[in-house]
Structure 1
Amino acid sequence: MLENKLIKLGLNKYEVDAYLYVLKHGIAEAGAAHKETNIPYGKIYETMNSLVTKGLFEVQNSRPKKYMTKKPSNALNGLYAEKKKQVDEDLENTRKLIIDIGKEIDEIKTQKPAERSFWITAMGNEIPEMTKSNFEEAEKEICILLYLPKTAASGFHSHSDETNESETRQEMMKAFERGVKLRMLSSKETGMMHTPDDESYGMNNTAGNIEIRYQDEPFPAYFTIIDNDKVVFSIIDPVEQNNVIAMTKVWDQRLASKLQGKFEEMWESAKKLH
């Protein structure tokens, strides 16, 4: 209904009733609008003036005042422009607030946790979100050991869709623009499958951030090391080996350093893909 759409646009119920009344009658007085709508007498002038302020009414300053609707297309476009201005101002204020909050949070001294490690797990539709967060969190380098059985290499996938993949690519590009490096170690078949196309990914200016090497018999595992600080383990479906069924992210510097050492050892003896 038109009434509901006008309310969604930002008018209240009284304003909708008054606007439609004047629209139908061409020119109307506030008193007549009050008598023929459900708008209380104590609210009618406030309502009419509000519609003037919002650019929906023209007002004749006679006694009594008379009101006429502006050309609807112009009036509604003006209302849109005003709402857009308000939204832009709100967004800018929110941006400034976030910056201020971030600065104050950075000044808070965080105690070193007593626990040595902390972990979270993602399954199903949560997996793409964790994959995206890996690039969001990275500050220096991401190292990926990606070994899959040859039977799985041709059709490897996880729970994702075009939107998730696009968002992940965007975060990957942002990470590269921040100077984050990506090193991937895999079997040759898997490495060929996961080599990004520079043009389709928009990576012409950041291709130097990526290096892929392979081994004929790599260490049988699938994990990601982020900044030598966090480790993400990908769990392969034992029945459908081309599918990741879960991911576990572990904050543990000792574990990350241990796996980083193994990664570097294999990296030195691996061959460049190109």
Structure 2
Amino acid sequence: MDEKLLANIGLNKYESSVYWTLLKKGDLEASKLSQLSRVPIGRIYEILRNLNKYGLVEIKPSRPRKYRTVDPKIAFELMYKRREEEALNELKLLREAFAEIERQLSSDDSPKQVETIFWPDKFHDDELEETVNSFFEDIEHEICVVTPSKYKPGVSEQYDDSMSVFSKAYLNLAQRGIHVKILDSYSQLLPAIKELINSIEDESVKNRSKEFLEIRILETKHDFVIFDSKILFLDIEDQIDAGTSLGMTQIHDESYTKRFKAKFDDLWTKGKQFNFT
């Protein structure tokens, strides 16, 4: 079986590896399963709980406790019905969200200039880096970023794969003298930036990077980016494939963006300082 097919039914990299290992090897203890699937032991029980929740894996009543796959024919049918119901609910929520957005846009306090940008199905070569840099080149003073808990490692492959690009872009901004303030929910961004900063040999450049780049840790569902307290970016999440971004809404309205900046400042006071060393 092509393991990519498991990603198509919604399993992330670790979940696919554990499930495929159980399919091939049969009943296994968690420790042995961690070893064979190459999933860290610290994550294995979380992954097994997820697979059990999906109806793909069950706990065998034995000592020591073992895990086994549910008959795929039965599990996949139930999973399909559940996903179908969830998709219909998501589409209903999406329609309601569109209606609410239209209502707010028609009100007096709605943003005046709104642009929606959709990402391609896949960025090619340096296309993502060029896109990010083109957005960042006009920043003059400050960028405020809120990374939500949905982007923790292993949850969104799309986000994980983009971290090397964004970490370099944020570091470049800091070295330009742009204040970079990031509220992060323990995403892949943290080790990516830390590795980049620690690799800088010139101490003056390293100190300048740390001076203008500040990260605080805060578990949050908020997800937005602000340029110079003037431009607001809101993520457009794929309602069918959760954890994947379809694009973003770009709002050029300083008075409207100030409301989000006030929210960011409030969240910022609650964040815990991230140590680069």
TM range (shorter): 0.3 to 0.5
Normalising by structure 1, what TM-score?
A: 0.47
Q: TM-score, normalised by structure 2?
A: 0.46
Question: Greater Rg, structure 1 or structure 2?
Answer: 1
